Structure 1
């Protein structure tokens, strides 16, 4: 089962494999203080798209359209996540404050639709 969780939220035994999907390391936390298994930077939105979006909920639908085009180039990585989550918990972790409008939510949606 594929899940999404904020990096700053407490780890749970239900998380399973934890994959960070931010391009840059989240603010205010040391790498050694974060419990994650993989860091897939390449799945994060391009710098240009991330800056344009700026977590503005009004841009969410357009962001997803543009981001999904970027994700098409990451087919192997996304397929890997899909396979790992088949029968096992995999949690995509992210640093954004907005729990509804972030790349992890978009990645989950993209994988579930494919």
Structure 2
């Protein structure tokens, strides 16, 4: 399985199973315009972790560790979601402005290990 990440506000979304991986719905995007196959909000960082991180690049390394701990605890949900993917490509959609320091990167790496 090929896993890609893409910002939901950008055009040219890659083809594949489109899963929004944010807990909160992105502002200004209608459900119709999103063209989602799934909303995997249960794999997003917990509200407490999301608020603590606050998209502060200085907290990135600690955020990654804490988020991976959450994902490991919720591994069975990730495996269930992966069963939904019936295409070669999985596209993880996120809304954060920071393209480098966001949870979709961590989730992509975690899911890639589950599928290998």
The TM-score normalised by the length of structure 2 is 0.85
RMSD: 2.0
The 1:29–1:82 alpha-carbon spacing in structure 2 relative to 1, beyond 3 Å, is closer
Instruction: Within 5 Å, give how 1:1-114 maps onto structure 2.
Output: 1-12=2-13, 14-82=14-82, 88-114=88-114
CA distance, structure 1, for counterparts of residue 69 and residue 32 of structure 2: 33
Q: SS in structure 1 opposite 2:18?
A: strand
Looking at structure 2, the residues matched to 101 and 81 of structure 1 have their Cα atoms a distance apart, in angstroms, of 23
The CA deviation at 1:113 is 3.6
Distance, in Å, in 2 between the alignment partners of 1:27 and 1:81 is 24
Aligned equivalents of 2:31, 2:83: Cα separation in 1: 26
**Local SS of the residue matching 2:75:** helix
Shift of 1:110: 1.6
Aligned length: 113
Mapped partners of 1:38, 1:85: distance in 2:
9
Where in structure 2 are there 5+ consecutive unaligned residues?
none
Contiguous gaps of at least 5 residues in structure 1:
none
